[in-house]
Amino acid sequence: MPYLSSRYAVLEPILVVKDIRSNHVQMILTQIEKVPLRIYKRLIAAGLVGIEVTNKPLTKMDDMGHLAGVQQPGHDPGDTYDFSSGTYEPSKRLLLLGNGTPDNPQPPKFVPHEIGHAIGILLGWDDTPEMTAHHKRLFPILEPFLRQSRGELFAEGIAERYSNGRRAAIRRFDRPFIDWLDKINA
């Protein structure tokens, strides 16, 4: 039985879903469909291998145990990957979408955030002169988490844009950044 609506059928061959009965997994599947289909087609054309969806933390997913106890860059000391719900794994071209620990459950926006990392890395936007300029201009108003890299700002821009819409994203960042995101993702 397909996990996504028929419009998103192009994703079914690369989608692996576990814990289908959990509400969290249902939420992830709903969030996946907030990102436009054309973007997934580009990611697949660029080599995205798979999207794994589970109700587990990142370090409990297959092949991710090596991240247990490892500090997450840019996070508070002691905030290891054990608390992380997912990531885009560039070496495997895999999008891993799970859940945090019970005391650190993940809000829905983490799904388009991780998809944003896949877009930024796989399609190369993180390292463009445009993205460098947006990061520089916005730097004074960014939270520390977003100051650490262009990639984090790109991912969070995508998350805000597709979770809460264009107006909310412009309010949080600025119009030139969101106009640019909309142009490259058109």
Q: Catalog residues that contact Zn ion under the rule CB under 5 A.
A: 152, 155
The 3-state DSSP class for residue 92 equals coil
Closest separation between CB of residue 6 and Zn ion, Å?
30
User: DSSP label at 134?
Assistant: H
DSSP reduced 3-state for 80:
strand
Of the pair 5, 104, the CB lying nearest Zn ion is at 104
User: CB of 113: closest distance to Zn ion in angstroms?
Assistant: 6
Taking the C-alpha atoms of residue 163 and residue 28, their distance in angstroms, rounded to an integer, is 12
What residues have CB less than 8 Å from 71, skipping those under 6 apart?
77, 78, 79, 80
User: DSSP of 143-186, one letter per residue?
Assistant: -HHHHS-HHHHHHHHHHHHHHH-HHHHHHHS-HHHHHHHHHHT-
Rounded to a whole number of angstroms, the minimum distance from the CB of residue 19 to Zn ion is 23
Half-sphere exposure of 43 (CA within 13 A, CB side): 27
* CB closest to Zn ion, residue no: 155
Instruction: Name which of 25 and 155 has its Cβ closer to Zn ion.
Output: 155
Residue 72 CB, nearest approach to Zn ion (Å): 9
In the complex, what is the shortest distance from the CB of residue 182 to Zn ion, in angstroms, rounded to a whole number?
20
Pick the closer one to Zn ion by CB: 89 or 152: 152
* Nearer to Zn ion among residue 152 and residue 160 (C-beta): 152
Considering beta carbons, is residue 3 or 122 the nearer one to Zn ion? Answer: 122
